[in-house]
Structure 1
């Protein structure tokens, strides 16, 4: 029997229908644990009760600090965090970046609310507790357990709004067969970064999408409005249209970091094309995001620019962060 700390933040798993007002996160974590099998000892703490689409960077800092405090408790073997699925990929990734303990942190949530005919939250929470309690998942960092599959936080993305398991990407670390957890891979772990500080709360990092005919006006506005960094959601291997090479160069000269990601769901940024493509954007000062997609690249940029970091340090983290895994 393991001792697991459950931290509640809200989300669909804590939501009920208000009729015409839609679903609203309203239930505290004590209500959610009533169906647990009690195979393990659990202690609970509510950090907030909110839909994850409402969270601010300051909330993510609170979650990260609470998880760190729980991990430092010698009586705690692992941590579970209940969270809305809208932005779970961002919060989980932030915690993975700063994770400095062998104990696992496991995020979970639900696709259906508590008062639906068949809520999935109770089963997901049961599996997340079992994953956090597993000695086989020590030293695997921050994970997301949902619909019987346990994935790494890095690379995770919300891929389907209606699927029972809405997540894709990342490394599949384990899966459940019945009540049994089967570990299939162990993510490679980078050195942890410092916890976010108060400056993180006010970090300004914007995402600019590059599509057919997209101009540089919004990009330049973000820079002039004081953005600490801008993430370009480039096309393909990391490209942007006419004018972006010059706009990136101007942004970098003004002290604004530019991170080049890709809007493509799978695969890394590999600067390949000239004529305003990735090769020229990088020469202008953009930092390739590797395999990070725009939402997670934004979280990394917010963390690093708030500490602060140099372009060389940011590029080192982007290139040093692992994308592979060790098979079990």
Structure 2
């Protein structure tokens, strides 16, 4: 029998409905009370808010709590209950700094704890089973939800209300009739340093591109003190008139620009000139590869708070691209 540390942060899985809307209410002990007992567990409440209210400080403290938990010889794995709104961001930051082979699994719910069709209990049971699996040692940080287990890197919330809202990441495992089946093992880069207190105040803005948008917001973000900017380009990484010049000014001024895409799936591949990805990269933008804008923002926040050079940011983006064994 494995022993799992269950850490609660709030979210829909812990929420109950009220006249002013659903709010996070239940604690870790209440969430764990319905577990089958196949594995031992201990509980820890880290915070209790819906995940759209989390700050970088909270994510740093979660990372520190995970480090301490996996250092405990009596703990075989960690499960974190978390809101789905920003789960992909917390999971990716944790994966970037996770050194232990012990699995860390995030889960949550799409329906509140007081819903007659609450999905939280099943998701939590499966997450505990994944964290307890010796075959998932060394796979880093995972998201377990609605029967599928995904690598943190590349995973995005793709649907607002679907029972299985996540996709994009490497499918590591899935559950069939309660049995865990391993399908792939991610190849992971070396862990980055744990965030320090400077991470709490890192400013990384996401600028979305669309038909006819101007680079004014990018320029404003740089002038107002952003540590880095993520440019969510169109298609395979493009932007309109004036963006290449704005990127060049930002990079020359010491503000890294990471080029991602606003498209939910697929990598950035600089291909087009005339202000497209080729010109943006030539101006100094760093291609974000397979990372979506929100995960690229977390990486940039960590690296710029360390601090890291433009070349170090490029290296971090080009390592661990989600390749698998299996």
TM > 0.5: yes
Partner of 1:3: 3
Question: In terms of mean alpha carbon deviation, does 194-203 or 317-326 score higher?
Answer: 317-326
> Hey, what does 1:77 align to over in structure 2?
76
Q: Which residues of structure 2 form unaligned runs of 5+?
A: none
Which whole-Å CA distance do the structure 2 matches of 1:259 and 1:234 have between them? 10
Q: Equivalent residue for 1:215?
A: 214
Kindly state the Cα deviation for residue 264 of structure 1 after the two structures are TM-superposed.
Answer: 1.2
CA distance in 2 between counterparts of 1:112 and 1:278 reads: 40
**Is the partner of 2:33 in helix, strand or coil?**
helix
User: What is the CA-CA distance between 1:26 and the residue it aligns to?
Assistant: 1.0
Q: Structure 2 length as normaliser, TM-score?
A: 0.99
Mapped contact 2:290–2:321 kept (Cα < 8 A): no
Deviation, 1:16, is: 0.2
Residue in 1 that maps onto 2:258: 259
Give the deviation of 1:266 after TM superposition: 1.3
- Structure 1 residue matching 2:294: 3-state secondary structure: helix
| Aligned match of 2:113 | 114
Secondary structure of the corresponding residue to residue 176 of structure 1: strand
Partner of 2:17: 17
Q: Secondary structure at the match of 2:47?
A: strand
Secondary structure in structure 1 of the residue aligned to 2:135 = helix
Aligned match of 1:64? 63
Shift >6 Å, 4+ stretches = none
- In structure 2, the partner of 1:308 is 307
Aligned-partner Cα distance in 2 for 1:177–1:241 = 47
Q: CA deviation at 1:321?
A: 2.3
Aligned residues: 326
Encode CA deviations 1:274-311: one digit per residue, 9 max, x unaligned.
11111111111111001101000000000000000000
Structure 1 unaligned blocks of 5 or more: none
Q: CA deviation at 1:172?
A: 0.6
* Structure 2: distance between partners of 1:268 and 1:168: 14
Aligned to 1:227: 226
How far is the alpha carbon of 1:113 from its aligned partner? 0.5
- Indicate if the aligned counterparts of 2:289 and 2:321 stay in contact, CA closer than 8 A: no
Question: 2: distance between equivalents of 1:248 and 1:176?
Answer: 45
The CA deviation at 1:107 is 0.2
Displacement of 1:154 after TM fit?
Answer: 0.4
Which residue pairs with 2:27 in the alignment? 28
Q: TM-score when scaled to structure 1?
A: 0.99
Q: Report matched runs for 1:1-328 at 5 Å.
A: 1-19=1-19, 21-327=20-326
- CA RMSD, Structure 1 to Structure 2 (Å): 0.6
Q: CA deviation at 1:253?
A: 1.2
2:205/2:221 contact within 8 Å kept: yes
* Alpha-carbon distance, 1:323 to partner: 2.2
Deviations 1:201-233 (A, max 9, x none): 000000000100100111111000000000000
Q: Is the 8 A contact 2:108 2:123 kept in 1?
A: yes
- The 3-state SS of whatever aligns with 1:226 is coil
